[in-house]
């Protein structure tokens, strides 16, 4: 049975040893982080470039990127000339895929 007159607050050498051990673990982790990771952390892609651009320059860069993506999605071209991989327009690629899947389904029947 618990005596209501006793002090239930943690104290004593075991409590303080646990507090010191916990603080030591966090300090060790912070030290390892400072020594090993922070000096060698990889730089984020495009670091320092977009923050230095004006809104008009960012809009121009976005329009250029969207034009390239639209061209890649709607035209034929070489995706990898060394391995003879071509790029097809998305609509044509979907038509070919549907045709191939229907041909496989017909063979299975």
Q: What is the DSSP string of 67-109?
A: HHHHHHHHS-EEEEGGGTEEE--HHHHHHHHHHHHHHHHHHH-
Mean pLDDT value of segment 4-22: 80
pLDDT level of residue 104 (50, 70, 90 thresholds) = very high
Residue 42 has pLDDT above 80, yes or no: no
Confidence of residue 20 (pLDDT cuts 50, 70, 90): very high
Q: Is residue 65's pLDDT more than 90? A: yes
pLDDT interval class at 85 (50, 70, 90): confident
């Amino acid at each position: 049975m618990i005596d209501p007159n006793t002090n239930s607050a943690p104290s004593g050498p075991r409590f303080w040893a646990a507090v010191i051990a916990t603080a030591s673990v966090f300090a060790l982790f912070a030290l390892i982080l400072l020594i090993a990771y922070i000096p060698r952390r990889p730089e984020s892609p495009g670091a320092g470039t977009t923050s230095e651009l004006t809104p008009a320059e960012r809009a121009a860069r976005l329009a250029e990127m969207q034009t390239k993506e639209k061209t890649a999605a709607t035209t034929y071209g070489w995706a990898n000339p060394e391995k003879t991989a071509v790029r097809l327009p998305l609509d044509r690629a979907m038509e070919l895929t549907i045709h191939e899947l229907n041909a496989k389904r017909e063979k299975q029947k």
